[in-house]
Structure 1
Amino acid sequence: MTDAKLSRRNLLLGVGGAVALTAAGAGAGYAIADSKDDAGVPAAAPQAGPAKYRSRPDLRTLPDVTITTPANATAPGYVFLTPASGTGLWGPLIVDDKGSPVWFRKVPDPATVAIDFKVQQYRNQPVLTWWEGTIGGTGGQGVGQGEFVIADTSYREITRVRAAGSEQADQHDFVITPNDTALFWVYDPVPYDLSALGGPTDGVLHDGVIQEIDIRTGRRVFEWRARDHVTLAESYAPLPEGDSAHLPYDYFHANSVGLDADGHILASSRHTWTVYKIDRKSGDVRWRIGGKKSDFAVDERSAFSWQHDFRRRRDGSYSVFDNGAGITKQREQSRGLVFKVDEAAKRISFVSEFLHPEKLSAPTQGSFRELADGGSFIGWGQKPYFTEYAPDGTVRLAGHLPLDNQSYRAYKAEWAGAPLDQPAMGLRAEGGNVIVSTSWNGSTKVAKWRARAGGQPRALTQTAEADRTGFETTLTLPGTPEYVVVDALDSAGKVLGTSSAIPVRV
């Protein structure tokens, strides 16, 4: 395991938030600007366009999250997204029930995308995990090459998990087991004779490989290869043709992996329309549900296609995000699907489905998870929406990213973040007053902000307070003091963090 050090580079990348300097290098914050100008931009690093947050002008292109159904008796927690759009500002994003950002980290070079951002447990402690890397593929199907990040409650990087051997980890899933091992997929292109399917004899096959890695040591403890257990005849995906004939044939397209209650592996293959239970010791397929070789009779309401995110629920039922669309369209709407498995009778029975009020059809991506209170949460993948449902199926929270965005998955989970950097601050002059804009990327305990001002950095007698109002809070100080400091306060009035003293300069 590689312990992360809180270096200046890590801070600037957003591991604990951002540290920005005034032209004079006075500390965290931004130099004052006239209200007619692009206020809040460091004098040493001018940028074009208006600042969304004066305290964090580096987040000017962070996408807005719109809440369409306000929170009503929702499960506690925050929403976890990985926005991806043409802005180039990609990375893991936490927002609250009002759509306001709580924490964001831009993906550092050379990675281009962050995927599958969620809360897990590692060494009995809550952690954040996500995938970073690049995504390519054939036929519009994303195949990732990258690695997984694990960060602690201070947003410090604990370690990175990489695939064993020469392969790179795929983005589709990352599950930390109770034994502190990690389950994930690798897409391995292998030479393959595809002539029996009408392809080239010197073709290439994308093999879906499950790896289980001991996180501390990086040692591989289990590996499973789809082509040893699943034939090409089970696929619904067409062969690449023409100039693309020698590109890898993605016959399987794995997209989720996890554990059943008995410790065996659950996996989903989008291109075979099948979910699998895999023996964790032998690698044998214990059963298939769906597709061309289902071991169970599947009733019409439980049939799924091009699916994602196969999971066991607490009551013993199973859930899957049924895209119903992909290379072909089988259903008019995507849905969250819950069904029961009768292993003795070899029969699947429908339990419930969760649809979006706008009848969304998501040809790619998506997630469907049970919440702690029995509700459910859906991320609609290629469609940039998320929806929280009560146990009875009613919508109790709904929202979306800008419509030119997407988020591979969306989750809701409880999280307590305590960044190690200082709060950020932006100042501007307006009407004979100093307007203070302040934020603290990643802090979840701030209830109120206090600005202190005066003629000397250690003699700040003028104060103003305001309740936290989303990611950034604005306070007004009369006149033009020489220096300003902000304090972040919790609900009891305790100081959680203090900015550096920033000189007020017009």
Structure 2
Amino acid sequence: MTKYSKAFYAGLMFPISRMGILLTALFLFTNHNSADSKDVIIYSSPIDNAELVNVMENIIFKTDKNSDLSIEQMTISVKGNDGRIISGKFFEVGDGRTFIFDPHEKYHTGENITAELIFISTGKVLHSLNFRTSEKIIDKKVRDRIIKDLRDEEFGTGVNPNRIIPESIGGYNNGGIIKPQVTITKNNNPSDGTIFFANIANDTVTSPFIMIMKNNGEMLFQRQMPETCYDFKVHINGLMTYFQNIAEKFYAMDSTYTVVDSFATGNGYLTDLHDILIKDDGNILLMSYDVQIIDMSLIVPGGSKNANVTGLIIQEIDQSDNVIFQWRSWDHFEITDADSVNLSLNNVDYCHGNAFDVDDDGHYVISSRNMSEITKINSETGAIIWRLGGKNNQFTFINDPIEFSYQHAIHKTEAGTFTLFDNGNFHSPKFSRSVEYRIDETAMTAEKVWEYRNVPSIYTFAMGYTERLENGNTTVSWGFANTAYTEVNSSNEVVFEFNFSPANFSYRIFRENWNVSPEFIPNIPDEFALTLNYPNPFNGRTNIYYNINTGSNVTIKVYDILGKELKTLINNEFRSPGKYVTPFDSGDLASGVYIYQLLTGGEIYTHKMVLTK
């Protein structure tokens, strides 16, 4: 190469280097503009153009998985009516993709809110949304009454848990402890583990308990509660949870039966009792019932102009108690999607969510009882993926022409199918069942592959639960039926069954792989005892109280004063340790003195009672 040639190439090298710098700068500028111009927000709560938004609502944004957007790159502008600036805390949560704006004060009612995510470097708007808060705020007392009425309709009215039993009744001073009675009617090689339940006492004597029962009827754990509890179960992380009415939230106990945490919905919503799910990542799924005042005359003929309409809220709460995902029925369902609900009433519950689960792909399935619908929603975007059952059914049912109605307890099984408890409110004749479907999301078919229907049929209009166990057995709890719980094997043979004392039920009953004994079991009597009945004298009906300090069979009979046997109230039925009550209805018996006798553990106990008419 000549000097000329070297000089020529040397002269070219400098311009090429400068061009490289210019191209690099141009690339960076173009890439930055591309990031500015591309909306990487895949989810927001509230959604754009949402209405009926709670005045205490946080604003949530979530980016797509490929975005590297960070909170350092942006700010947020939130304004209300007439450009009113709304200040608040703007922060990023642990997953690095979710950003939350927590306003310092409530929005105004009927206020139009605009929220904009803005790049700090350029001032350009990355994402914007508009929503409107509720026009009217329902009074808290009215809301609480509506929620109570909904619960009473589904679960029964319950009793006063703080009722004081008269001190004249030996052994039941200071409020007394009357446990729900369990009678096992079938026990033929059931699954391992224990039975979890919380009783709903619709009588006048039984106390509310959370209990864990062994297969032989003995109680592994029992705790009297100050108020009715619901949904007592174990989660994947080993915590036990139950919902308590007084506090309106779920409590969590560890393996020592110590309360260590509590869970409640955020954004100003009241926690609903129907379900809680602790996910693999430790986040919590909860639901809420949201009561809004709506002019139903604009929706259905004869509708109330100021109807109290209840919608459904689903929330995912992270381990720092932040709401990181929220889904509202107002945004995705129509009120007229309700199945056989009278929409002209003053109080309308069109959705009535009662269960959820996580599908294998991470998305959520929810059960809406009053729509007879199972809905799958995208856990990233909140969009509906499919709708099964009800007015908006997208599937062809195979092997199941009657479909399901007013269902509970949707679950994804290890086999990839779904089980649910079909209350069957619209079957003719009415009956309830446990049913399993294979869902084909491509062919859009729902094939019934299994069901359990008791013979004779059992029907419960509300409550109920079913779940497939690891060994292939299936549990069924029957809600408001006389039979409380049934477990069947893969051949539909009943291997375990029990019921409660009259007027006692349980919202859900679970079989759990749990055998951890507490250090002590409270409320176990020191000795057998048959105490005085109350009231005594009585007119028509009285209650007989007795204590059992070890598990044994019990017989209670009533005799006249001459020793003639008149009635058998309990006939050689097993009772675990505890304090019990058995009602006695005198029926056509004449006024006079009668004898009642308890036979248990080889011992006989006798008392007199006086009937006056």
Same-fold status (TM-score > 0.5): yes
Bigger mean CA offset, 333-342 vs 198-207: 198-207
Native 8 Å contact 1:423 1:439 kept in 2: no
- Map 1:267-278; keep pairs closer than 5 Å: 267-278=366-377
1:83, CA displacement in angstroms? 1.0
- Map 1:67-466; keep pairs closer than 5 Å: 67-70=184-187, 72-85=188-201, 86=203, 87-108=205-226, 112-122=227-237, 126-133=238-245, 146-195=248-297, 196-198=299-301, 199-214=303-318, 216-239=319-342, 245-247=345-347, 249-299=348-398, 300-301=400-401, 303-325=403-425, 330-384=428-482, 385-420=484-519
Distance 2:511 2:284 in 1: 21
1:439, CA displacement in angstroms? 7.8
Distance 2:342 2:522 in 1: 54
What amino acid maps onto 1:204 in structure 2?
A: N
Distance 2:448 2:428 in 1: 18
Query: Alignment partner of 1:228: what SS?
Result: helix
1:239, CA displacement in angstroms? 3.1
What amino acid maps onto 1:75 in structure 2?
A: S
Query: Alignment partner of 2:504: what SS?
Result: coil
Distance 2:194 2:520 in 1: 21
Greater C-alpha Rg: 2
Distance 1:92 1:429 in 2: 23
Query: Alignment partner of 1:208: what SS?
Result: strand
What amino acid maps onto 1:230 in structure 2?
A: F
Query: Alignment partner of 1:271: what SS?
Result: helix
Q: Describe the shift of the 1:150–1:288 C-alpha distance in structure 2 as closer, same or farther (beyond 3 A).
A: same
TM-score for the superposition, normalised by structure 1: 0.67
Q: Describe the shift of the 1:97–1:428 C-alpha distance in structure 2 as closer, same or farther (beyond 3 A).
A: closer
Distance 2:412 2:442 in 1: 18
Q: Describe the shift of the 1:312–1:332 C-alpha distance in structure 2 as closer, same or farther (beyond 3 A).
A: same
Q: Within the alignment, does 1:65 sit opposite 2:168 as a pair?
A: no
Native 8 Å contact 2:195 2:214 kept in 1: yes
1:60, CA displacement in angstroms? 4.1
1:332, CA displacement in angstroms? 2.5
Deviation digits for residues 368-395 of structure 1, max 9, x if unmatched? Answer: 0011111100110111510011112111
Distance 1:192 1:428 in 2: 59
1:202, CA displacement in angstroms? 2.7
What amino acid maps onto 1:130 in structure 2?
A: Y
Distance 1:239 1:88 in 2: 35
Q: Describe the shift of the 1:424–1:380 C-alpha distance in structure 2 as closer, same or farther (beyond 3 A).
A: closer
Distance 2:455 2:214 in 1: 22
Q: Describe the shift of the 1:164–1:387 C-alpha distance in structure 2 as closer, same or farther (beyond 3 A).
A: same
Distance 1:359 1:428 in 2: 41
Q: Describe the shift of the 1:288–1:47 C-alpha distance in structure 2 as closer, same or farther (beyond 3 A).
A: same
Native 8 Å contact 1:302 1:349 kept in 2: no
- How many residue pairs were aligned? 369
Distance 1:274 1:317 in 2: 17
1:157, CA displacement in angstroms? 0.4
Query: Alignment partner of 1:129: what SS?
Result: strand
Distance 1:273 1:62 in 2: 35
Distance 1:238 1:282 in 2: 30
For the aligned residue pairs, the C-alpha RMSD in angstroms reads: 2.9
Query: Alignment partner of 2:370: what SS?
Result: helix
1:200, CA displacement in angstroms? 2.1
Q: Describe the shift of the 1:403–1:426 C-alpha distance in structure 2 as closer, same or farther (beyond 3 A).
A: closer
1:81, CA displacement in angstroms? 1.4
Distance 2:524 2:405 in 1: 50
What's the % identity of the aligned pairs?
A: 25
What amino acid maps onto 2:423 in structure 1?
A: N
Query: Alignment partner of 1:407: what SS?
Result: strand
Distance 2:504 2:520 in 1: 30
Distance 2:473 2:390 in 1: 28
Native 8 Å contact 1:155 1:417 kept in 2: no
1:80, CA displacement in angstroms? 1.2
What amino acid maps onto 1:363 in structure 2?
A: F
What amino acid maps onto 1:119 in structure 2?
A: V
What amino acid maps onto 1:201 in structure 2?
A: K
1:421, CA displacement in angstroms? 5.3
Distance 1:279 1:392 in 2: 36
1:417, CA displacement in angstroms? 2.6
1:396, CA displacement in angstroms? 0.5
Task: Give 5+ residue unaligned stretches, structure 1.
Answer: 1-44, 135-144, 431-435, 441-468, 473-506
Distance 1:420 1:283 in 2: 45
Q: Describe the shift of the 1:79–1:425 C-alpha distance in structure 2 as closer, same or farther (beyond 3 A).
A: closer
1:229, CA displacement in angstroms? 0.8
Native 8 Å contact 2:474 2:489 kept in 1: yes
Distance 1:184 1:419 in 2: 28
